[in-house]
Chain A
Amino acid sequence: MVSDSITNASIHAAPNNNNAARDVGKKKRARSAKLKQCKLDVRREQWLSQGAVKNKDCKAEQNGVVEERKDRNNRHPFGNLGMRPGGGENDGSIHHHHHHDSDLDSNSPNSLTSSVLGSNYSETNFTGSSSSSSSSSSSSSSSGGCCSGNITEDDEGGGDDGCLDDWEAVADALAANEKPKNPCLESPPEHDPIAQSGSPQETTIGSDGPSFGVENSKSQCARTIPKASGNGLAWRPDDAFRPQSLPNLAKQVSLPNSNRKHYGCGGVPWAYSGVVSAPSTCPICYEDLDFTDTSFLPCLCGFRLCLFCHKRILEEDSRCPGCRKPYEHDPVEAEASVHGGSLTFRLPRSCSLITRS
């Protein structure tokens, strides 16, 4: 019913030689690809944020998530500044649009035009808000649902060969999604040293860093890791006489990571990214790491293990299995304070889930 009314709107508007309406119609066509992309975005976001919905409000309020926001194409700042009011407008205009639609059949061409304008206005508005925000705040996802419905009707109303066009739009949207993301991901300079620092353990920390969501810990990681790579090797300089072909501990530790990605995926969906970047089982006892364990980084070399194996090692020789250096107690305490509340590190995880999708 609504789609019919829109078809009527576009068809009737043209014979009326109403320039505004025609322009609007053209714009509409030109934007249809963009709109579809938005629709895709919104649906994807909805789908992805299902797991994160519960935590949204807290997330928006967290001031420490600056890094997250940079990573996320500046979505969150927009989401905070413009999204709430924008979302409100969207809802308003969309409802407005719907109301006019329902009135269309009986109304004059003028009102048709205005309703088309109105609908287009709402679309434009939505385009802006969705591309800039794509955030997972509840207002955006609810308005997203509304808009996506609206857009679907528009497509049908436009008389396009919907099926083919949809697939093209999917391809377009995917391509358009790829392009803006890449420069943004590369742009933050603090990512580069981590990415280039080579050893799999370091990248583990590096990629886990943003998921902590606290700028301090993140920058700390970035600073301390290169240092650690110098002397945090499995073989110390005094081991130089050893055959070079001996297996390296770093390699050994990294192996389980890649193997267990799929395993971790099935377990707890919203912790997916955390599981990917850190081993999901303790390399010592092979028990599953819980969230306290995965956020526990006892040694600068990046070797992770469960709290119980760590405690046991502390009671015996107190050396890190990864680098054989005596454990220092400072990093442990720092970690503990950062991750005092379980909420603190749950939220960034769900954030980073969206980033990496």
Chain B
Amino acid sequence: MAAVNQDNTLVVATTTAPSNSKQSQPRAKTVDSQSVLKRLQSELMALMMSGDSGISAFPEEDNIFCWKGTIIGSKDTVFEGTEYRLSLTFPNDYPFKPPKVKFETLCFHPNVDLVGNICLDILQDKWSSAYDVRTILLSIQSLLGEPNISSPLNNQAAQLWSNQDDYRKMVEKLYKSPKA
């Protein structure tokens, strides 16, 4: 308990400091990154234990702040059987700020642009620090099958969505397996 208190008082000290920016930055960074480290390690454990089907993620070799994730398209959607690789980059003030999540595999989807940016509210203004990698990936997985047509990043995909058969053909045509 003492350790927790000590650690937390440090966090408090640093979180009140950010206005001083430069001087307190190194210290804030080390304390923050320690707590972020703990959180990310715990998330990794939870994710590996959870056994969710169709999603996975793992940190890059030397940097636990950069993860690679994979999402498999859900059954009974036009993305069934396709696999997508994503990158997740965690800020130093994670989980108070959302990670940056991008598709690395081309994904023909109304809410994903051609370079892989995702328009998903929980990754922006609807972010909550109670979200984690697992819920992010599950959210993106369900976004694949249920796009928000009203605010598309990919207009062509949004227009084609109404015709699911053609959409499926387009997905198959554009799909390149990340393993290939």
Chain A interface (Cβ < 8 Å from any Cβ of B): 239, 241-243, 245-247, 249, 252-253, 256, 259, 281, 283-288, 290, 303, 306-309, 311-313, 315-316, 319, 321-322, 324
Contact = CB atoms under 8 A, between A and B. Distances in A.
A287 B130 contact: no
B42 interface: yes
Contact of B12 (A259, A290, A308): A308
8 contacts: A246-B142, A247-B135, A249-B131, A284-B96, A288-B4, A309-B129, A312-B12, A313-B129
A312 B1 contact: no
Interface in B113-153: 121-122, 126, 128-132, 134-135, 138-139, 142-143, 145-146, 148, 150
Contacts of A242: 121
B91 interface: no
A252 B135 contact: yes
A243 B143 contact: yes
Contacts of A245: 142, 145-146
B82 interface: no
**B contact patch SS:** helix
A342 B36 CA distance: 30
B15 A312 contact: yes
Contacts of B142: 243, 245-246
Scoring B11, B129, B146 by chain A CB atoms within 10 A of each residue's CB, the highest score goes to B129
Contacts of A322: 128, 130
A285 B38 contact: yes
B12 A284 contact: no
Nearest to B18: A315
Contacts of B38: 285-287
Nearest to A288: B4
Given A286-B39, A303-B130, 5 more contacts: A245-B142, A247-B138, A281-B42, A313-B96, A324-B128
Bin chain B's interface residue count.
35 or more
Contacts of B148: 241
Contact of B129 (A256, A259, A311, A321): A321
Given A243-B142, A321-B128, A290 B4 contact: yes
A246 B39 contact: no
Interface string B85-125: 00000000001100000000000000000000000011000
B16 A315 contact: yes
Nearest to B40: A286
Contacts, number: 80
Give the most central of A281, A286, A288: most B CB within 10 Å: A286
Contacts of B126: 239, 324
A253 B134 CA distance: 12
User: Which of A253, A281, A283, A319 has the most B CB atoms < 10 Å from its CB?
Assistant: A283
B42 A286 contact: yes
A288 B3 CA distance: 10
B166 interface: no
8 A-B pairs with the lowest CB-CB distances in the bound complex, closest first: A243-B146, A321-B130, A308-B8, A286-B42, A245-B142, A321-B128, A321-B129, A247-B135
Interface of B: 1, 4-5, 7-8, 11-12, 15-16, 35, 38-39, 42, 46, 49, 95-96, 121-122, 126, 128-132, 134-135, 138-139, 142-143, 145-146, 148, 150
A259 B5 CA distance: 24
Nearest to A308: B8
Given A243-B142, A315-B15, A249 B130 contact: yes
A245 B145 CA distance: 10
Contacts of A313: 96, 129
Contacts of B134: 247, 252
Contacts of B143: 243
Given A249-B128, A316-B96, A311 B39 contact: no
A321 B130 CA distance: 5
Contacts of A241: 148, 150
A243 B134 CA distance: 17
Contacts of A309: 129
A232 to B, nearest CB: 13
Contacts of A321: 128-130
A246 B146 CA distance: 10
Nearest to A239: B126
B139 A284 contact: no
Contacts of B95: 284
Contacts of A253: 130
A246 B130 contact: no
A311 to B, nearest CB: 6
A285 B130 contact: no
Given A245-B146, A246-B139, A286-B42, A312 B96 contact: yes
